[in-house]
């Protein structure tokens, strides 16, 4: 029994499943209301090309979640390039050819030339964090990523409350069934985390990537602050920043 299983009513079905099976690639912005945006993809353990994925399984995946495969469920350069291309398509639907800024860490896959070119061609400006600063500057690491994981855990607990699901979990849940289940858990968890504007925007503020200013309109000679402070208003609307 693993230490993590002590005192647990529902345990990991096998030792093998304690190893990494999935990696989430999470992007969100600091927008509120209609301006909020999030993108989450799932990299599963398996062959990058080919593999035993039937049409039935693929049709059962949640359509909101792009699903990719890598033998160790890692985001390597090939996976990162596919993720970049897919994100650029989403970005174009929402922002067209408008340039957006994406800040990210110096993972080797992120700094690969093909990945940077894919983002650049899609008008995504990459802002890399200095080495050894991700945990301090990355909004995803400032609480947003943990929020998604907590939601996934709560949703899984709810799913396990059904006797049929619990029996399947403790007997034999196939790899295909796990992948399908995970896409739906991740999709719902991502929606829940994204809707929490206060938490998500707070992650940007705590890391210093979002600064807000209060303008006293009574001191202005015009009712249109943009006429006097166009650059300052641009900083305020930095809430449209894309993050990974």
Query: CB within 8 A of 236, min separation 6: which ones?
Result: 212, 213
Q: Coil, helix or strand for 40? A: strand
227 has a pLDDT exceeding 80: no
Q: How many domains does the chain have?
A: 1
- Rounded to whole angstroms, the Cα distance separating 52 from 3 reads 33
Confidence of residue 215 (pLDDT cuts 50, 70, 90): very low
Global confidence as pTM: 0.78
Does the CA dihedral 168-171-150-161 come out positive or negative?
Answer: positive
The boundaries of the domain holding residue 142 are 3-243
| Among 53-62, 84-93, 109-118, 203-212, the least confident range | 203-212
Q: Average pLDDT in the 164-192 region?
A: 92
Partner residues linked to 40 by β-bridges: 26
């Amino acid at each position: 029994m693993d230490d993590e299983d002590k005192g647990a009513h529902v345990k990991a079905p096998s030792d093998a499943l304690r190893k990494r099976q999935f990696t989430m690639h999470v992007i969100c912005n600091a927008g509120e209301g209609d301006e909020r945006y999030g993108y989450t993809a799932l990299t599963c353990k398996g062959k990058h090309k080919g593999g035993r994925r039937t049409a039935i399984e693929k049709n059962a995946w949640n359509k909101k979640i792009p699903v990719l495969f890598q033998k160790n469920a890692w985001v390597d350069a090939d996976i990162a390039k596919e993720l970049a291309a897919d994100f650029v398509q989403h970005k174009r639907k929402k922002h067209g050819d408008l340039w957006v800024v994406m800040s990210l860490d110096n993972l080797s896959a992120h700094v690969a030339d093909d990945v940077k070119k894919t983002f650049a061609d899609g008008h995504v400006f990459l802002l890399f964090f200095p080495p050894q600063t991700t945990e301090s500057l990355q909004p995803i690491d400032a609480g947003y990523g943990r929020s998604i994981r907590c939601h996934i855990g709560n949703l899984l607990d709810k799913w396990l409350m059904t006797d049929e699901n619990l029996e399947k979990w403790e007997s034999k849940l196939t790899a295909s069934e796990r992948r399908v289940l995970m896409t739906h858990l991740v999709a719902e968890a991502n929606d829940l985390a994204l809707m929490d504007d206060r938490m998500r925007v707070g992650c940007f503020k705590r890391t210093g990537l979002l600064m807000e200013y209060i303008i006293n309109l009574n001191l202005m000679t015009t009712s249109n602050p943009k006429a006097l402070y166009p650059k300052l208003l641009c900083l305020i609307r930095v809430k449209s920043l894309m993050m990974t």
